[in-house]
Chains A and B, each alone.
Chain A
Amino acid sequence: MLDVVNLSHTYGEGPNAHQALGGIDLKVAEGEMVCVVGPSGCGKSTLLRSIAGLIRPTEGQIRIRETTVADTPGDLAVVFQDYSRSLFPWMSVGDNVALPLRRRGKDRTARRAAAAEALEEVGLAAASSKFPWELSGGMQQRVAIARALAYRPSLLLMDEPFGSVDAQTREDLEDLVLKVREHHRMTVLLITHDIDESVYVGDRVVVLTRSPARVAGELSVDLPFPRDQIATRELPAFVHLRAEVGRLVRAKKESPPVQV
């Protein structure tokens, strides 16, 4: 599905240049849910922006379903880290969610219905006619997620989507993403800095090194489905995986990539 080959990106030129990505190789299979973890500022958002075709990486290649990404691919949705800035303050919540659906060639009523359904899924059915800035931070985040879900992309990119919500909502949203992916057979790439979260939702966890980011190692998560916030987290396998990811994250930059 997604194939990232030797991806490097350097911001700026000359003495101010900053290399954010230092040769990343990453494969995501159809229907897979991959979590990317890495320290703050290592280049996770840069990786996501490159995949979404929002910046042109200085080196390397990105292929989605065997076609090289040059411009923004059509069948992809993004939940940005800056969720509050990613919603348009001049549109109601419902319009925000419905806007991208124009591209799907749906008529007005179909768009409305799809938006209402997605808002229902994130538990915000009542907020449709409100404006984004009338909602709390966590609610805005859920609107951004609803917008991505309503679009029904075959590839969903999420950049720390549960960053600023309370623990309870966060768990609900994690389960929501798991459910939706199951339901609509989406491929998901989820970026997070929360190790527990990556193990809980992922089929596979990819750990990045400090800037310039490289793949420090990856683990496949073979925990049973459906996952449960209490039961899954109690499993010895979960505790073990969590420790493994933690070790990779903390590993010194110089150490060679580990395969587990």
Chain B
Amino acid sequence: MTTTVEGQTTRGMRAGLLAVLARVWLVPIAVAAWELGTRQAGSTYFPPPSQILARMYELWFSGPAAHLFLTDGALGDFLPSLARLFGGWALACVLGIGLGVALGRSRKLSGYIDPLVEFGRAIPPPTLIPLFIILFKMGTQMQVATIVYGVIWPILINTIDGARHVDRVHADTAQAFGLGRAQRLFRIILPAAGPKIFAGVRLSLSLAVILMVVSELVGSTNGIGYQLMFTQQNFDLSGMWGAIVLLGVLGFVLNASFLVVERRVLSWHRRARQTT
């Protein structure tokens, strides 16, 4: 009895290990190839990953323990970048979802506004940077404005779509039982539109990273994008690659953590679809 159970668990563990291996085996090979290839080539433009990591450590992660090992340089670059990113993104979420629900639920209002939305979202957001620079001067205001303008569209469009297509029987049920405005909004419309809204919000998060970088490259005196420009001008290529890697990690972490939240909030949706 016990031996079979043990046999099964070890077999289960071995299967699990193999599954993980099947996923990640290419990563060490790719990194090794990168290291060897760059060493062989010896090009200044392509420093080996070990050197990039060393430089990243030196630049950002060799600080005191009290600061979570972050250096002053890291704090000076990361904090403003992240503040702009999240500030702009959060503002866009609030505006986009609020306006989206209004437009999705009112045919009349959306009749007036829809063409403007269509045109507004067709304008590539970076084109507004020169205008925002003149309006708000260089700095945080201009960057936040760029991020808000750029990332609001996927949120807005998806919210409109989700709020407009609430199942008719759901809407009828809410009406027949006489639910008030607030309850209809928070208990019916927003949850029903939830999957669509989340898809838009997730898309907007990766857009926000792009726009943060662009706005910092163009007009800023701090932030990760500025660091990218600064290292390039000082021909510190390891530092520049470090900033690129850092942005990749940032995007990856943001997306992954957002997915965790989304799974939580929308678990009903995922599970309901699996069963039907």
Contact = CB atoms under 8 A, between A and B. Distances in A.
A80 B194 contact: no
Contact of B268 (A80, A89, A99, A100): A89
B170 to A, nearest CB: 6
Nearest to A132: B272
A47 B178 CA distance: 19
A86 B167 CA distance: 9
Contacts of A90: 191-192, 194, 268-269
Nearest to B268: A90
Given A54-B172, A80-B172, A133-B275, A100 B167 contact: no
Q: Which of B175, B176, B191, B276 has the most CB of A within 10 A?
A: B176
B167 A133 contact: no
B178 A100 contact: yes
B209 interface: no
A89 B180 contact: no
B257 interface: no
Nearest to B187: A99
A88 B191 contact: yes
Contacts of A82: 169
Nearest to B177: A100
Contact of B178 (A72, A85, A86, A88): A72
Contacts of B178: 72, 74, 100, 103
A249 interface: no
Nearest to B172: A54
A131 B191 CA distance: 14
Contacts of A85: 167, 169-170
Interface in B161-206: 167, 169-170, 172-173, 175-180, 183, 187-188, 191-192, 194
Nearest to B191: A90
Interface string B246-276: 0000000000000000000000110110011
B39 to A, nearest CB: 55
Contact of A76 (B176, B179, B187): B176
Contacts of A133: 268, 271-272, 275-276
Interface in A36-61: 49, 52-54
A179 interface: no
Interface in B182-239: 183, 187-188, 191-192, 194
Contacts of A151: 177
Interface in A113-161: 131, 133-134, 147, 151
Contacts of B175: 52-54, 72
A33 interface: no
Contacts of B275: 133-134
Given A54-B172, A88-B173, 9 more contacts: A78-B172, A78-B177, A85-B170, A86-B170, A86-B172, A90-B191, A102-B179, A103-B177, A147-B177
Closest 3 pairs (CB-CB, A-B)? A100-B177, A85-B169, A133-B272
Interface of B: 167, 169-170, 172-173, 175-180, 183, 187-188, 191-192, 194, 268-269, 271-272, 275-276
24 contacts: A49-B172, A72-B176, A78-B173, A80-B172, A86-B172, A88-B173, A88-B188, A88-B192, A89-B268, A90-B192, A90-B269, A91-B191, A99-B183, A100-B177, A103-B177, A103-B179, A133-B268, A133-B271, A133-B272, A133-B275, A133-B276, A134-B275, A147-B177, A151-B177
